[in-house]
Amino acid sequence: MPEQFNNIAVLIDAENVSHSYLEDISENIALYGVVSVRRIYGDWTSEKMKGWKSLLLEYAIQPIQQFSNTAGKNSTDSALIIDAMDLLYLQHVDCFCIVSSDSDFTRLASRVREQGKYVIGIGEKKTPTSFVNACNEFLHIEPARQERERERGDARRSTGKEKQNRTEVLLERAVDQLADSSGWVMLSKLMQYIRQVKPDFDLHELGVRKPLDYFTSRKDKYHIQKEREDAPSAIFISKVR
């Protein structure tokens, strides 16, 4: 389980990361705690931003308009950096997530770390090493996206119930990501993560009323443990290996 933070600021360079990765980005960040700031930077008058526009409301991301006033100069980078420094000195943000594949944010990541804040970078494989190494952690998003599309494709072909299968794939992947070294994850933590990733999560999509009912019905895939000395009132889930 990654380190947990109470106030995460997510700052997205829309001109340097594809909108097709937004679901991956959202799921990865949710593992780290509570997101309090969601901002995305770009010239929203540009046709290049068309793919992003349809997702902003769904993911509750605040778009920051930055006109490209000078050819060859990336004013979007400057706007993101200024906002990050403002947030840094407000003190309440304890983790910064910079979403970009651009080396221009290397100094920003280093500066934020100098102030004792945790920095997570998210970008594609092409991201320069300088930016990757300036972060506490850097998450490459391309492989995760490809794996998710493969899993979803398999799920759709096997049952044809797209919505239910997407939810089941999300649950299965969450158990894998959150499990401790012994393979178990507390059910309450699992559901907290799911609702971070998918606020409109609905158990009725799975035909059950309670989370435990779903895992009980899938004994072919999951083990359930209701009594542990370290957490006598908690319920734990693990995958059948």
Q: Where in the chain are the domains?
A: 5-143, 161-239
Please tell me the CATH superfamily of domain 161-239, with its number. LOTUS domain-like (3.30.420.610)
Report field, pTM of the whole predicted structure over 0.75: no
Q: What is the pLDDT of residues 199-214, one digit of tens each?
A: 667 777 788 888 888 9
Looking at residue 161, what is its pLDDT?
Answer: 62
Please state, rounded to an integer, the average pLDDT across all residues of the chain. Answer: 83
Looking at residue 156, what is its pLDDT?
Answer: 47
Topology at the third CATH level for domain 5-143: Rossmann fold (3.40.50)
In whole angstroms, how far apart are CA 22 and each of 6, 18, 80, 172?
21, 8, 18, 20
Q: What is the pLDDT of residues 125-180, one digit of tens each?
A: 888 999 999 998 898 886 544 455 555 555 444 444 676 788 888 899 999 999 99
Q: How far is Cα 158 from Cα 224, in angstroms, rounded to an integer?
A: 25
Q: What is the pLDDT of residues 78-120, one digit of tens each?
A: 889 999 999 998 878 999 999 998 888 999 999 999 999 999 9
Q: How far is Cα 13 from Cα 84, in angstroms, rounded to an integer?
A: 12
Contacts of 43 (CB under 8 A, 6+ apart): 15, 49, 65, 66, 67, 68, 76
